Every structure is written in structure tokens, then in C-alpha cells.
Amino acid sequence: MLRITALAGGIGGARFLRGLLRAVPDSDVTVIGNTADDITLHGLHISPDLDTVMYTLGGGIHEGQGWGRADETYAVKDELAAYGAEPQWFGLGDRDLATHVIRTQMLGAGYPLSAVTEALCDRWQPGVRLLPMTDDRVETHVVVDEGKRPRAVHFQEWWVRMHAKIPAERIVLVGVESARPAPGVLEAIQAADVVLLPPSNPVVSIGPILAVAGVRDAVATTGAPVVGVSPIISGAPVRGMADACLTAIGVETSAAAVAGLYADLLDGWLVDTSDAGAVPTVEALGVRCRAVPLLMSDV
């Protein structure tokens, strides 16, 4: 039984994992999910990246969006808007709300996020063990300067309301200094036969997971091969706004530059055939590199 451990964020990571499970159906896959996108809205704790993995692998995802539920309705959202409840820029569907109600109830009863995630996955049966990177609170905030003076906004506001159009002066992982890996996270990396970095956002998805104490070291010292898949194809993100995030940390938006972010961890890096020119650059980092078709158009 091949033991695979993958660090994953949202849409790109979830879609890659869906293909992975088809490609190696009899493997034992553990997914360490990003929780720095988490946000509390209308009193509810929302975990976008965990939910995208859970819904995508569990068969409930809104396929076109890559987040939220299929066959969704927005009656509650409309009612909240009728009351003038803010914010209105984050679309919470009626079906999706049930997930956040359960999560908030269980967190309020004292269960850690890892136990909550296990309970939610008991319904969805995603076919992987989904672990939050930490049970502690970590939130990505973005410092933007809209002319008056710099201010920090939650990542979701920058991503969803501002469409990452206002440059991020800085991206800050609030709380990461005191965050500990969730139960099973380090063990899953150390016990893996292979560790994968799917094509998730390197700055706001994979980055926060690696920033949790002990995780980067565990990946760096695991005996298993560590292989990553470029989220950048032909110099651009496939979807999402990883380019705006990479620019914020002064990194070029290219398959080779992202490999450079993980060079100390990687044994292998896959770039798209359109980026075959990057292979020598990546191999010069001491990372084996192959150019293969990376664009995921179906399962």
C-alpha cells in the first residue's frame, strides 16, 4: 500500500488529488490542508481550502467555481443582505452554510479543527485522510496601501472583494509563530513513501503549511522522495491569482521560480511541456525536472 502525503491548498490542489486517487486507487493518501485562508463571518468559522478538498473529493463541489457546493441556493445570503449584514462580498450558499454551522458548533464545544474535519469527512468520504495543517488559529492577512496609509485586510477580502487588484505590500501569516502541527501531520510526512506538492498557490496555500513549526523540517528530512507540480504554466497561474501573490514576495511568476521556493525540499519538479526551457534552470538547483503536460482539463 503506497503511502502518499500531499500538502494542498484549494482548487488546483483538490483537482490534482482527484486525478491522483484515480491514478493510484489502492494508495493510502493523507492530505495536509491549508487553514490560513480560514475566516469567521456571520459568526461562522469557514475553512475554504479544507472544504474545497472535502467537497471536490467527496463529490459535492461546484465544479465550475472549484469552491462551494453544487446545486447551491442563496436564500440565507439574500436574507442577510436584506438585514444589511456585512460582509456581502463573500458568497455563502445555503448548503455550504450547514458545513460552517457544524464546524462552528463543534469548535464551540471544544473540539479541535482536526476532529471537526474528521467528523465532516465522515459524511463526505473524500477517500483521503484530510488533516488541517494546525489546530491553532493562523490567518493570512494582506497589507495594502490604498493611498491614505497601509492597512491589513484579511486574505479573503483582498482575494474576493479586491480580486487581488490592489498590490499586496506584504503578506502576513497572523498567528503562525505559535501554531503547532495538528495531530498526525508530522507523522504523515515522516511515514510517507512519497510526499507531493500539488499545483496549489505557493504563497498563500503551500507556504503557510510549510511555515507551521516543524513541517518544513519534516519535509526536508523525510526519507521519502518529495515531488512537486508547477502551479504556473507558460508564465501564468492556471486560475486564481498566484501571480499577484508571487509579486508580493518579490518572486517571478514562472515554473522555475516557484521551484526555487521549494528547492531545499524537492527531489523532483514537474513543469508543463510549454515550460521545457525551464528544465535546465531547475536541474541547476539540484532538483530533477521533467516537462510533461500539466494542464488538468478533466479527471
Catalog residues that contact ligand FO1 under the rule CB under 6 A: 9-10, 37, 46, 48-49, 51-52, 67-68, 90-92, 96, 156, 159-160
Pick the closer one to ligand FO1 by CB: 79 or 264.
79
Measured from the CB of residue 96, what is the shortest distance to ligand FO1 in angstroms? 6
DSSP state string for 215-281: HHHHHHH-SS-EEEE-SEETTEESSS-HHHHHHHTT--SSHHHHHHHHTTT-SEEEE-GGGGGGHHH
Three-state DSSP at 290 gives: strand
For residues 65 and 270, what is the distance between their CA atoms, to the nearest angstrom?
Answer: 25
Measured from the CB of residue 299, what is the shortest distance to ligand FO1 in angstroms? 20
Pick the closer one to ligand FO1 by CB: 137 or 290.
137
Measured from the CB of residue 51, what is the shortest distance to ligand FO1 in angstroms? 5
Measured from the CB of residue 292, what is the shortest distance to ligand FO1 in angstroms? 25
Q: Is there a contact between 226 and 7 (Cβ–Cβ < 8 Å)?
A: no
Pick the closer one to ligand FO1 by CB: 67 or 262.
67
For residues 207 and 81, what is the distance between their CA atoms, to the nearest angstrom?
Answer: 34
Measured from the CB of residue 94, what is the shortest distance to ligand FO1 in angstroms? 12
For residues 261 and 209, what is the distance between their CA atoms, to the nearest angstrom?
Answer: 13
Pick the closer one to ligand FO1 by CB: 140 or 222.
140
Pick the closer one to ligand FO1 by CB: 48 or 278.
48
